[in-house]
Amino acid sequence: MSDAPAIEAVSLATLAGGRVLHRDLSLTVHRGEVLAVVGGSGSGKTVLLRTLSLLQPPAGGQLTVLGQDAARLDAGGLRALRRCIGILFQQGALFTGLSVLDNVCLPLAEYTGLSLADRRELGMLRLGQAGLPADAAGKFPDELSGGMIKRAALARALALDPELLFLDEPSAGLDPVTAAGLDELLGDLRDLLGLTVLMVTHDLDSIARVSDRVAFLGRGALLAVAPVAELAASQEPEIRAYFAASPRDFGKPTCRPA
């Protein structure tokens, strides 16, 4: 495995609806870490996720993903790199006309030459990894609870054995117990599969449970990146206001050498 960071963004600019949203954003995501991305509504968390996951091109700067400079890749190179990336979208984004197993097998059909039988076998493995029982395979999305939809979408995101997993508000709409179960699963998968995880979220409990560091977006920029306890103790007004709105104990920030 390369020693390069999972993601390296240098002076990145992002675009939303034809206008520049973030300017001069520099961020390193280390291999194997869970990085949470937070910030107020409209601060551009989803746009950043879409840019870093190569769903949309940057408006400027440099973006290196898994050691590859995105700007230097042709269509084939981009497609090969995208194969190493799994994404769980905000609402799950499952195809309602397909069974859970068929949803999970879609990326396998698109990106691999596996036979139908092999795709289905691998799809069942992914369902199990995402914590779904085997009998969920034949169900349709509208027969699933919110937590099961997230797990089915997670299984699909894991289909191609990605190195990088992007999650857009994974615990949104889930009850606290289900959300905690999903966090535990994410931690286990990170350890088991060696995943690097970038998670957009508003859920401070989830951040406390699973994140190694937190990136805070505001005013069109990245205002800070730090472990949550350090961030919660920040004196930066926007960050203070964010954490003051829902106070909780994240423990003491650890002292780090300068």
Q: Which is nearer to ligand ATP, 99 or 211 (CB)?
A: 211
Measured between alpha carbons, how far is 60 from 83 in angstroms, rounded to an integer?
23
Size of the site for ligand ATP (CB under 6 A): 11
- Asked if residue 165 binds ligand ATP (CB under 6 A), the reply is no
Which of 125/221 has CB closer to ligand ATP? 221
Give the nearer residue to ligand ATP in terms of CB position, either 21 or 231.
21
For residue 14, the cross-strand partners are 22
Given the complex with ligand ATP, which of 18 and 257 has the nearer CB atom?
18
What's 205's DSSP letter?
A: H
Name the one residue in this structure whose structure tokens are 């069942």: 124
* Contact assessment for residue 101 and residue 127, using Cβ atoms and an 8 Å cutoff: yes
Q: Which of 13, 16, 226, 229 binds ligand ATP (CB under 6 A)?
A: 16
Please identify, using beta-carbon distances, which residue of 56 and 178 lies nearer to ligand ATP: 56
- Binders in 186-215 for ligand ATP, by CB under 6 A: none
**Residue 136 amino acid letter:** A
User: Shortest Cβ distance from residue 42 to ligand ATP (Å)?
Assistant: 4
Q: Mark the segment that binds ligand ATP (CB under 6 A) among 34-42, 73-81, 111-119, 149-157.
A: 34-42
Task: Tell me: does residue 17 bind ligand ATP (CB under 6 A).
Answer: yes
Contact between 21 and ligand ATP by CB under 6 A: the answer reads yes
Nearest distance from residue 118's CB to ligand ATP, in Å?
A: 37
Minimum CB distance to ligand ATP, residue 90 (Å):
7
For residue 249, what are its two tokens? Answer: 């104990």
Q: Strand pairing of 68-69 and 85-88?
A: unpaired
Residue 69 or 236 with smaller CB distance to ligand ATP: 236
Query: Which run of H or of E encompasses 104?
Result: helix 100-111
Q: What are phi and psi of 67, to 5 degrees?
A: 80, 0
- Asked whether position 223 contacts ligand ATP by CB under 6 A, the answer is no
Give the shortest CB-193-to-ligand ATP separation in angstroms.
26
Which residue type is seen at 90?
Answer: Q
Three-state secondary structure readout of 34-90: EEEEEECCCCCHHHHHHHHCCCCCCCEEEEEECCEEHHHCCHHHHHHHHCCEEEECC
Closest residue to ligand ATP, judged by C-beta, is 17
User: Which H helix or E strand runs over 146?
Assistant: helix 146-157
CB 222 within 8 A of CB 196: no
Cβ proximity to ligand ATP: between 197 and 200 the closer is: 200
H or E element that contains 232: helix 228-232
Please give the residues from 38 up to 67 whose contact with ligand ATP meets the rule CB under 6 A: 39, 41-47
User: Residues interacting with ligand ATP, by CB under 6 A?
Assistant: 16-17, 21, 39, 41-47
